[in-house]
Structure 1
Amino acid sequence: MIKNNFLNYKIQKILKNLIYIKKKINYIKKKKRLIKINNEFKKKNLYSNYNFFLKLKKEINLIENIFKKIIFLKKNIYDNIELLEIFKQTKDKSILKYIIKNLEHLNNIINNLENKYIFFKKNDKLNCFLNIKSGSGGIDSQNWCNILLKMYLKWAEKKKFKIEFINKKNNNNNGINSITIKIIGNYAYGWLRTESGIHRLVRKNFLNNKKRHTSFSSVFVYPEYKNDNINNNVNIKESDLRIDLYRSSGSGGQHINKTETAVRITHLPTNIVVKCQNNRSQYINKISAIKQLNLKLLNLENLKKKKKIKKINDNKLNISWSNQVRSYIFDNSIVKDVRTNLKVKNIKYILDGNLDLFIKNNLKAEINND
C-alpha cells in the first residue's frame, strides 16, 4: 500500500512538472506558431530566400523537438497510471520494476526540460564562487559555518561539479570563520545564486546540551565572469591597491608556514579585501588574489548598474535577522525556506546535500515573479 502511494505521488509530481513546463514554454502559442511555419513551408517562393528558410527550419526543429518530448512524457505518464492500477490487482513484481525504472527515466527527461527554463539569467551558465561567513553565535556559529560547507560540498559532488578551495579562515575549535570555494560546472551559478542570504541554525548548543541556541551564517554566491568581460569592464589602478604579504596559517609544511607566501590585497576605494594562501608560490597567490579582486569589482559594478543594492561592503551580506533565506531547526528536524515557506521534515537529508527541492522552488518562484 505504501509503495502504491509513493509511486502514485511520483507520477503526479512528474505530471505537475509537465503542466508547469507547458505553461512556461507557452505551449498553445508555440502550437499556433508551428502551424504558421508549416504554412510558410508550403509557399513556393520560400526557397528563394535561403537564409530565411534556414531560420524557419531551425525554429521548427526546436519546437518539434520540445513537442516530441512533451508528447512522449504525457503518453508515458498515463501508461504508468494504467500499469499501476494493473499492479494493484495482479501484484506482479515485474510490472512494479518496470514502473519504477520508467518513472526514473521520465523524471530525468522532465528535469532536463525544466532546467532549460529555470536558468534564464545572463550569467546562470557560469562557474561561481560561494562564500560562507560565520555570524552571531560565537563558536556555535563557526561550527554551523563548517556544517554548511559540508552540505554544499556534498551537493556539488552529487552534481559532479568540481571544487577549488580559494580562501579559508579557521578557528581553534574545528569551526570556520569564513571560507570561499569555487564551484566549476555547467550552470553552477544558476543553481546556487538563490542560496545567497542568511542561513539560521536553531539547536541545543553542541557544547552545552541544556540550552537552545540560535546561530547565523551568511552565504554569498557570485559568478566567475569570463576574462574578456573583466578586462573590458574593470580598470584597476595599481595606486588603488595595498598588497600585504604574510605567513600562511594551517597545514602545509615548514616552507609554507615560514615563508611570506600568503597575499592579502586591499582595494582602497571600495575597501574590498581578497586573500590567497593556498600555493607555496607568492607569485601564484598574488595572481589568484588579483583575479578574485577583478571578479568582486565586476560583480559590484553589475549590482550598481541594476540598482539591486545601494551599498556593498566586500560583496558580502551583513549577518543579521534581515536577508534570512532558510532556517534549520535541529530539535524538530525541520528545514524551512523563509521565501517560499517550503518545509522539509528531515534535516539530515538536506544537510547530506539534497538541496535541489529548495533551489528549484526558489528558481520557479523567481520566474513567476518576473
Structure 2
Amino acid sequence: MDLIKKLDECEARLKEVQELIMDPDLVKDQKKYKDTMRENGYLTEVCELYAEYKKILQGIKDSTEMITMEDDVEMKEMAREELKALEEKKPQMEEQIKLKLIPPDPLDEKNIILEIRSAAGGDEASLFVRDVWEMYIHLAERKGWKTETMEAQETEVGGFNKIVTSISGKFVYGTLRWESGVHRVQRVPATESQGRLQTSTVTVAVLPEAEEADITINPGDVRVDVMRAGGPGGQCVNTTDSAVRLTHIPTGIVVIQQDQKSQIKNKEKAWQVLRARLFDLKQGELDKERSTARKLMVGNGDRSEKIRTYNYPQDRITDHRINMSVHNLPGFMMGNMDDMLDALNVYAKEEQFNELDK
C-alpha cells in the first residue's frame, strides 16, 4: 500500500465530511449524523498523525540536505544526530498510522452479553466457569463497567454449568470481542483427592448487545412459553409461572430466562438475549465474507476452537491464536489481562491492514 496516497485520501475525505457537518439538514437524520460525526472523529485522528508524519519526513529531508551542503563541522554533527533520531522515529510513526488506518468497527462501542458454559470436565469445568466469570467481573470493575447477572445455573460444588451476564460501559465489545471460544484449564482440581492433573474446558461467547433497530425479528417466528422456574435442590422454584422460554423457529435458538420473580422482567431479558444471539448469528455470516484475520480470530463460528490454555502448575496463560504466553496466572485471573487483550486487537488490526494491500 502507498501510505502517503492513502493518507492524502483521508485528508481529502476529511474536508468532505467537515462540509457535510456544516449542512443543517444533517441532524434531521440521526443515524447519518452519528455516522458522520464518528467518521469525522476518526479521520481527524488519522490526519493529526499524518501532520506529525509529514514533519518527520520534512525533518529527514532538511537534515540530509544540511549534511550534504553545510561546511560547518558542528552543524553537520547536529544534523547527523537529528537525522538519526528522526529515522528511528519514522518506522514507529508508520506502524502507529497503519493501525489507525483501519476504521473503527461501530460494534466496538456496543455493550455485550457474556455467556460462559462448562464443557468437558464435569465438576471441575463448572468451577472453572466461575473462575473465568470472576476474571471478567474483576476486569469490568477495573474498567468501570457495569455488570448484571441475567442467568446462573449453579452446581452443588459451587461452580456454574452456565452463567450469563450483561456488561455495559465504554468500548466493551471492542475490548472483549476476541474472547469467544474454548478456554482450557490444566490444574489439580479442588475435587481431586489423589492430586492428579486434570484438563477441563469451558466455552465463552461474547455477544454484542443488539438494539431493536439492529435486527428485525418477526414476532410470528417466536414461540413464547411460560412455566414455573426450577433449580437444583428445589431452589429458585416459584409458585407462579414466571419463567419464560422463547423459541426462534427459523433458527431453532432457544432462550430460557427464570432468574427474576417477575414474568415481565424475565420476558424482557429473554428478548434481550434472543436479539443478541440472532445479531451474533448475522455477524457470523458476515465474518465468513470478511478478511482472513477475522476468520482466524473467530474460527469457524461454532466456538469449538481452543483459543487459550490456563496452565496452573506452570503459572502460564497461552493464547494459541497469537502464540503469546503470560506468566502471572493469579494476576490474570484477577482481571489484569490488558496485555493479552491489547495484543489480540493489535494482531487483528495488522492482519486487516495487510488485507488492504491485496
TM-score for the superposition, normalised by structure 1: 0.65
Is the 8 Å Cα contact of residues 228 and 238 (structure 2) preserved in structure 1? no
Tell me the amino acid that sits aligned with residue 154 of structure 2.
N
Indicate the residue corresponding to 2:164 in structure 1. 180
Is the 8 Å Cα contact of residues 249 and 257 (structure 1) preserved in structure 2? no
Q: Does 1:340 align with 2:326?
A: no
Shift of the alpha carbon at 1:252? 12
Shift of the alpha carbon at 1:113? 10
Instruction: Pick the aligned partner of 2:331 from 349, 353, 366.
Output: 349
Count residues in correspondence: 281
Is the 8 Å Cα contact of residues 128 and 182 (structure 1) preserved in structure 2? yes
Shift of the alpha carbon at 1:263? 1.5
Indicate the residue corresponding to 1:156 in structure 2. 140
TM-aligned CA distance change 1:134 to 1:114, over 3 Å: farther
Shift of the alpha carbon at 1:244? 3.8
Shift of the alpha carbon at 1:226? 2.1
Using the alignment, how far apart are the partners of 1:249 and 1:114 within structure 2?
52
Indicate the residue corresponding to 2:254 in structure 1. 273
Gap runs ≥5 in structure 1 = 1-22, 41-49, 72-111, 310-314
TM-aligned CA distance change 1:276 to 1:52, over 3 Å: closer
Indicate the residue corresponding to 1:304 in structure 2. 285
Using the alignment, how far apart are the partners of 2:311 and 2:270 within structure 1?
37
Using the alignment, how far apart are the partners of 2:21 and 2:129 within structure 1?
56
Is the 8 Å Cα contact of residues 242 and 268 (structure 1) preserved in structure 2? no
Shift of the alpha carbon at 1:66? 4.2
- Residues 220-259 of structure 1 correspond to what in structure 2 (within 5 A)? 220-230=205-215, 233-237=216-220, 240-249=222-231, 257-259=238-240
Range 358-367 or range 282-291, more displaced: 282-291
Is the 8 Å Cα contact of residues 131 and 181 (structure 1) preserved in structure 2? yes
Using the alignment, how far apart are the partners of 1:190 and 1:69 within structure 2?
27
Indicate the residue corresponding to 1:74 in structure 2. none
- Residues 13-24 of structure 1 correspond to what in structure 2 (within 5 A)? none
Indicate the residue corresponding to 1:262 in structure 2. 243
Shift of the alpha carbon at 1:331? 0.5
TM-aligned CA distance change 1:204 to 1:51, over 3 Å: closer
Indicate the residue corresponding to 1:317 in structure 2. 303
Instruction: Pick the aligned partner of 2:197 from 190, 194, 212.
Output: 212
Tell me the amino acid that sits aligned with residue 254 of structure 2.
V
Using the alignment, how far apart are the partners of 1:115 and 1:278 within structure 2?
42
Shift of the alpha carbon at 1:333? 0.5
Using the alignment, how far apart are the partners of 1:280 and 1:51 within structure 2?
53
TM-aligned CA distance change 1:259 to 1:351, over 3 Å: same
TM-aligned CA distance change 1:170 to 1:117, over 3 Å: farther
Shift of the alpha carbon at 1:68? 7.9
Indicate the residue corresponding to 2:273 in structure 1. 292
Indicate the residue corresponding to 1:141 in structure 2. 125
Using the alignment, how far apart are the partners of 1:246 and 1:317 within structure 2?
31
TM-aligned CA distance change 1:30 to 1:127, over 3 Å: same
TM-aligned CA distance change 1:114 to 1:361, over 3 Å: farther
Indicate the residue corresponding to 1:365 in structure 2. 347
Using the alignment, how far apart are the partners of 2:103 and 2:112 within structure 1?
14
Shift of the alpha carbon at 1:63? 5.3
Is the 8 Å Cα contact of residues 224 and 244 (structure 2) preserved in structure 1? no
TM-aligned CA distance change 1:265 to 1:115, over 3 Å: farther
Q: Does 1:124 align with 2:108?
A: yes
- Residues 21-100 of structure 1 correspond to what in structure 2 (within 5 A)? 30=7, 51=19, 62=45, 65-66=48-49
Is the 8 Å Cα contact of residues 119 and 203 (structure 2) preserved in structure 1? yes
Is the 8 Å Cα contact of residues 210 and 275 (structure 2) preserved in structure 1? no
Range 148-157 or range 209-218, more displaced: 209-218
TM-aligned CA distance change 1:317 to 1:67, over 3 Å: closer
Range 292-301 or range 174-183, more displaced: 292-301
TM-aligned CA distance change 1:32 to 1:317, over 3 Å: closer
Using the alignment, how far apart are the partners of 1:158 and 1:117 within structure 2?
29
Is the 8 Å Cα contact of residues 242 and 258 (structure 2) preserved in structure 1? yes
Shift of the alpha carbon at 1:292? 1.8
